[in-house]
A and B are shown apart, each in its own frame.
Chain A
């Protein structure tokens, strides 16, 4: 039979971001897959070398659009480590609050986006709408829904608005009610089951081979490898939470883990609000002078946080000037999103290709960077 070449993306409802996979198919089965990144390549890493330390704030959230806060956090942590500054206590708590709210938001989005590859669009409407209500809170906090630009080197940009924590708690209560509905609708839905159960497997060997982290890894190898636990940043060592794991990683398991993580994030948020001091500074200056002349001492550092897709890291080199000398981004979806597609998408059905991308956790801009 003749081989046919099909393009998944860059314009495709099942594709995440501007990314393309060239698929060579035989019938319904993918025989070979070639990931084609670069559609979103704006040279983030290079651009950062031409921006002030503060100016990069406008750029970094774009490296993974739906999850800007991890980018901001990892950048801020790196700069703070280089500048050897200790940020105020309250800033740590606010950061954790923001990061966990972001995790809830992206997991909701991820639950919703399962509608694209499976045709269960109700899931999309419900989960994305819920996420939007969460984005309202972000808007109130930092003035924007998507590009928050809130976690800055030295702390956070502004203190919490009045009554903010109450609204977050109310949102958590609402989520307590809503998430079971989503579970009913999505995780127990026969369509989803038919498509995700025992499909798109991620065996432990592949995890080790590619360097997959995050839910992908935890669902396959049963290890609590979560940076918040193994190498705690901010005050993650001061809150109680569990890291859900599994030893059999199909698409459904990974979806289930996301929902279980949602509950853990909500648990962290409640503890954070409980433990956060009401008063106190929320940032310290990174350097003397105006932001046009902030400098960061020469040196290099690798900072990493646990994003929704796994270990997200920045390697930052400073030569002591007002702009970074070099920044390299370890996008969490690089192993599975680039190497994984090339090697392990083959053998799947065409209609599973976008489900593969979705359930493996791929955020394409961070592959392009």
Chain B
């Protein structure tokens, strides 16, 4: 080493005296803290307005630092849980994976990094959007599209091409195994869907079963709350998908199609074993069910799992009600209906068909023969539309027409009378069922189709599902939306068309149904046949006089207590459309509830 240099070299260290230090002074630590970077992963902030309470943050947290805490002050909102995440900073590693996976984007981390306290409890806290000290620090780390940890795009369901309209083949192809697995992998298991489902189906559980490849387990989950999984896997109104946590930033999980995947792809022996695993010996009593629609079938199945003998009375030749005689074959094939009903039959439910309660057997008789009676008769009649010309023989109604078509496809009756040009009045799902069924029948009979539709509502507010509208139009239905029926024109005893007039408003100031028309804006829809699909109504011929007096009926529906039990007639229960409606899954839920109520009632009676 150079001796000279070593003597003088310390002098050059003096220049460092002038350098600005990079340390923060102690007195500034709290008053003027160093500003954290824009992406800083500091303390959590949670926007309670956005937060769903889904708990996905808590599930992904690698250190179990997040606990979902029930907040009783939050109001109940559909699609939201009244839970919010609380963070334990004794465990948190500030990895921000919770922020990246948050389905509602409510979580963020602030640029605040100082928390000093002697009280260890302050390190466990429930953040709102103001953060740990209520100081509303600027946001630091937030999720962006690069750090996304959810799969927001649904695996589209394939449809048969438009040539499908020449036959009644099922139009929805169903998921392949690969797609079902990928779709089920998107689920975050929050269970918000379960809360929204009328039947409270174990949706996250059965989706997880698919993902794990446990099909038998999946069927078991389905049958816990819904014995019509084949039907609901195809035509459910899927309220679950409307609230799916993934729907907030992306596309909801195809819960309905996953359910269908389960029922279509489970080996029959495993399926049967799972579906019947809870059925027990009928030793507790006898129950009669009136009507074999969804609510009746569901009630019957669950009564069998509770140990009751069940007889279901059905007016028509085959059990099933709306699922056998209503839903069109191209959406709900006969084999699916048969699988559900067959399983319920295997569970030991007796069907007494061609027997109408109130005509062939009275309700009083049922009361004496059985311990309890459940009514699930549904809205079985079409609501008439009394416009000029409605009594013509070529004016048809939705319910009988759809039933006849199903019978025709089962080869138990002739093809319903279908003209070359027809018009359907109505804009709901049933109207589209009629329209699209007509298209198919015309294709079979004439090799061409010409079906028009007139509905009061405009295209964007039609009460039907969007798929019905899109697929219906794809199949060639000519929609005249926003036009109400004025009269059915008849020339030489034959219908020549339907004159429609423009709708100005549908509801009046009191929000009552009271359509107003522009009488000057009219035109004629060409058709020789008219179908009316403007709603259904119930039939209560089976009630005796005392019942009719005692039972309150409002808007066609009966008033019942808990479990669908009639207050004045504790042996009598009801469910489905005549109580709640308007869909199958609600009927299934009502049936399940009633089965529980019937069990409680009969046990109390026997003790």
Contacts and interface: CB of A to CB of B under 8 A. Distances in A.
Given A288-B185, A291-B101, A190 B36 contact: no
Contact of B40 (A57, A143, A282, A292): A143
A290 B188 contact: yes
A285 B151 contact: yes
Interface string B49-63: 000000010011111
B211 interface: yes
A58 B97 contact: yes
Contacts of A285: 151
Contact of A158 (B6, B39, B189): B39
A143 B147 CA distance: 13
Interface in A280-307: 281-283, 285, 287-295
Contacts of A147: 93-95
B23 A290 contact: no
A192 to B, nearest CB: 11
B97 A55 contact: yes
Given A129-B23, A290-B187, 9 more contacts: A55-B97, A132-B22, A136-B37, A143-B140, A158-B146, A289-B151, A289-B211, A291-B97, A292-B60
Contact of A141 (B9, B39, B63, B186): B39
Contacts of A289: 151, 182, 184-187, 211
Interface of A: 51-52, 54-59, 129, 132-133, 136, 139-144, 147, 149, 157-159, 161, 184, 188, 190, 193, 281-283, 285, 287-295
Contacts of B144: 158
A283 B145 CA distance: 10
Which 6 A-B pairs have CB atoms at the shortest separation, nearest pair first?
Answer: A289-B185, A55-B62, A291-B149, A58-B95, A143-B41, A143-B39
Contact of A51 (B6, B22, B62, B94): B62
B146 A159 contact: yes
Contact of B93 (A54, A58, A184, A283): A58
A59 B91 CA distance: 12
A65 to B, nearest CB: 12
Interface-central residue, A133, A149, A193, by most chain B CB under 10 Å: A149
A332 B241 CA distance: 50
Contact of A139 (B36, B109, B146, B211): B36
Contacts of B38: 140, 161
B525 to A, nearest CB: 48
A288 B182 contact: yes
A184 B10 CA distance: 11
A133 B23 CA distance: 10
B109 A143 contact: yes
B22 A133 contact: yes
Interface in B47-103: 56, 59-63, 93-97, 100-101
Interface residues of B, number: 42
A169 B149 CA distance: 32
Contact of A54 (B1, B39, B97): B97
Given A58-B97, A143-B109, A161-B39, A190 B151 contact: no
A88 to B, nearest CB: 11
B150 interface: yes
B257 interface: no
Nearest to A136: B37
A283 B109 CA distance: 22
A144 B63 CA distance: 18
Nearest to A285: B151
A243 to B, nearest CB: 29
9 contacts: A58-B93, A59-B62, A157-B100, A188-B1, A190-B6, A193-B1, A287-B185, A289-B211, A292-B56
B149 A54 contact: yes
Nearest to A141: B39
Contacts of A288: 151, 181-182, 185-186
Contacts of B483: none
Interface in B5-64: 6, 9, 22-23, 36-41, 56, 59-63
A168 to B, nearest CB: 14
B302 interface: no
A294 B187 CA distance: 11
Nearest to A122: B13
B141 interface: yes
